[in-house]
Amino acid sequence: MKSTTRALKEWNAAVNALEGGKTIVLLRKGGIREKGGQFNVADKQVLLYPTFEHQQPDLLKSDFASEVNTVASGWHPETIRIGSWAEITDNFLVAWEPAISGLFPYHIWNDKFIRDRLKWKPDRPICILLLRVYRLAEVAEIPYISEYGGCRSWLDLAAPISLDGSKAVLSDREYIKQANEIRNIIANPQNAFSA
């Protein structure tokens, strides 16, 4: 039986988009409680832990902004729905704005988010993750505990969640197609603007 306790915290809107096959991309730059103050990939296979705190509709494309209800700082639900896990297949560090702009069709964030991320700690690149997402065979409802709070990316859940019977959100063919398009844009950003 395959299971894990490792989880990656991400905005609920992003987790929903990943689970719905609307994106395979996460953009991260690091946060307050990250080791060394920057984001690093700690694990390649992680549960997707949705967080509601800090979600800002004005940083999302309109299709995704309508899903967000802003909450007070420190708010969290009593139970957390864990419905998926992901294999992080690629991890790119990108600081060149044209490469990041070329990825616009592939993620959920708007131009303001990208500008803000580039300006915040401008000496640090943006981490672009490609995630192969799998729906759990059985959604887990776990109780929130204080150890899950705060501005951190990586969590160890109190109990393991089974990955057995999971189903890929996208077919192999579709995932490979999107991942290759994104890899090409990162390697050759000028191609994104000439197409």
- Residue 193 within any structural domain of the chain: no
Parent domain of 48:
3-188
Q: What is the CATH number of the domain that holds 157?
A: 2.30.130.30
Q: For residues 134 and 42, is the Cβ–Cβ distance under 8 A?
A: no
pLDDT digits (tens, 9 = 90+) for 34-44: 566 667 787 89
| Interval 72-85: pLDDT, tens | 777 788 999 999 99
Q: For residue range 102-145, what is the model confidence (pLDDT) as tens digits?
A: 999 999 999 888 888 888 877 888 889 999 999 999 999 999 99
pLDDT at residue 123, as a whole number = 80
With respect to residue 64, please indicate whether it lies within any of the assigned structural domains. yes
Beta strands in 109-152 (DSSP E): 126-143
Domain annotation covers residue 195: no
Burial of 52 (0-12, 13-18, 19+ CB in 10 A): middle
Q: For residue 129, list its beta bridge partners.
A: 26, 91
How does pLDDT run across 150-171, given as a tens digit for each residue?
878 889 999 999 999 999 999 9
Domain count, the chain: 1
φ, ψ (nearest 5 deg) of residue 19 = -65, -30
Give residue 191's pLDDT: 60
In a domain, 12, yes or no: yes
